[in-house]
Chain A
Amino acid sequence: MRYSGFRVIAEALTGHKGWKPVWRDPQPQAEYDYVIIGGGGHGLATAYYLAKEFKQARIAVLEKGYLGGGNVGRNTTIIRSNYLLDGNEPFYEFSLKLWEGLEQDFNYNAMVSQRGIMNLIHTDAQRDAFTRRGNGMILNGADAELLSRDQVRAMYPFLNFDNARFPIKGALTQKRGGTVRHDAVAWGYARGADSRGVDLIQQCEVTGLRIENGRIQGVETTRGFIGAKKVGVAVAGSSSKVMAHAGMRLPIESHVLQAFVSEGLKPLIDGVMTFGAGHFYVSQSDKGGLVFGGDIDGYNSYAQRGNLPVIEDVAEGGMALMPMIGRARLLRTWGGIMDMSMDGSPIIDKTHIEGLYFNGGWCYGGFKATPASGWCFAHLLAKDEPHKTATAYRFDRFMKGLMIDEKGQGATPNLH
């Protein structure tokens, strides 16, 4: 069933009796050509592009809870392609281009809103670094612009420009960046995959990987054994747990990241603003709530909740940047489990086990990557070679010294 304005009007006039469930609820088959583990953004996008662009095959997505119940439904919805390094920028720019055509492509309103993202500058050194980053972006076909202090002030006069420690001196902005309705991304990909014959199997936790003679045979699940020629793992914060079934240890730690929403306010912030020096970023949802966040809690965690000190720290960042935020009430906070990698960049690669593929290490920034991650993982699964924008996302980059460390922090996942 295609969605359109005409359809909405027709349904409104006929009592909305024609809408059907958006996807099926199939029983698992005994065997598939491709099994994708994880029904988050990346797993669903992988299945969608696999079915659409690459092969007509028997494909299933196995999800332990419900579709979109993981990080894809917990993030602060920011999309951007403002990276510096060669291994990253072409990939994220590919992703941003896919976002720009996504709603037409999968015929679903994901509320892709290119409202712009602005990274604030406080020192000369930071301006140099951001200028370099902006040039890196432009060289890779993305857009970037430096704003003066006055230009920032014209947009957001209420910011604390003369903060004693972090006075605002300007900003790097990417106008094509913005926000996307995160749940709708999961639902749109799920619907698109289902309509192309992909079985989306929920309440189906993978509890083991069956491997014989170095080759994957299928997966053990809470709904029985499911055979598979190829298995792609895209389980974000659970990456280490699932890959342990194949005896693998990963260059990843799981950490909790929290997010916050205030009560609904009148229009205040029309784009996304990041205050990196103060560990705070904010945007405003279409319902009016300020959506904001800061650092990860900083210690290994599989609890989908964080602790109070980070809430205090984030609130302090908000107060430093825009003191009037102190008058707003906080409505909700929540947490999600991040797959923090050793250099802050992801992995999309084969493993040493034939037929077993891995996609993870997205840290706190994998939402913006969803379309390209799905596309590139589908490419790898179908063709056994990496997509040209994802050649650097290899497991062996740590062995070879080819880390993609945007922040230059080294092997300290909680600092990326």
Chain B
Amino acid sequence: MIINHPILGPRDAQEFVYLGDANLINRPDGLTASPQEMHDYVYLRTNPAGEHRELWYHEQGDRSWLVVTRNTVTHEITKVELARDVARQMGRSK
């Protein structure tokens, strides 16, 4: 698989480390979240067959986190964003 890095251009997926569902960006606040919320965040996944937004880390490159939109049935990648930009769009400071 080739991941079209927004800054570095097309890179082999082998350069990256995979983390999983991009919703992991939205970690609940550890002090205010209920145990149930924290459990759901850490352990439960939607795990869809089809379009999946997921986190990849460019370990052997510029060390950026990316949000990759990929089809889990065909492995086709349709969108690649910097995780930083995605987080900021959601109102986060970084």
Binding site for B on A (CB under 8 A): 238, 240-241, 244, 249-254, 298-303, 307, 309, 342, 398-399, 411-414
Contact = CB atoms under 8 A, between A and B. Distances in A.
Interface in B37-56: 39-40, 42-49, 52, 54
A399 B12 CA distance: 38
A394 B54 CA distance: 27
Contacts of B75: 301, 303, 307
Contacts of B14: 309
Interface footprint category on B: 20 to 34
Contacts of A307: 1, 13, 75
A250 B47 contact: yes
Contact of B43 (A301, A411, A414): A411
Contacts of B44: 249-251
B18 interface: yes
Nearest to B38: A399
B91 interface: no
A240 B1 CA distance: 24
B27 to A, nearest CB: 12
Given A250-B44, A252-B45, A309-B13, A298 B18 contact: yes
Contacts of B73: 302-303
Given A399-B35, A399-B39, A303 B47 contact: no
A253 B47 contact: yes
B40 A300 contact: no
Contacts of A302: 49, 72-73
B46 A414 contact: no
Given A240-B45, A253-B45, A413-B20, A303 B72 contact: yes
Interface in B1-29: 1, 12-14, 18-21
A301 B1 CA distance: 13
Nearest to A248: B44
A252 B46 CA distance: 9
Contact of B18 (A249, A250, A299): A299
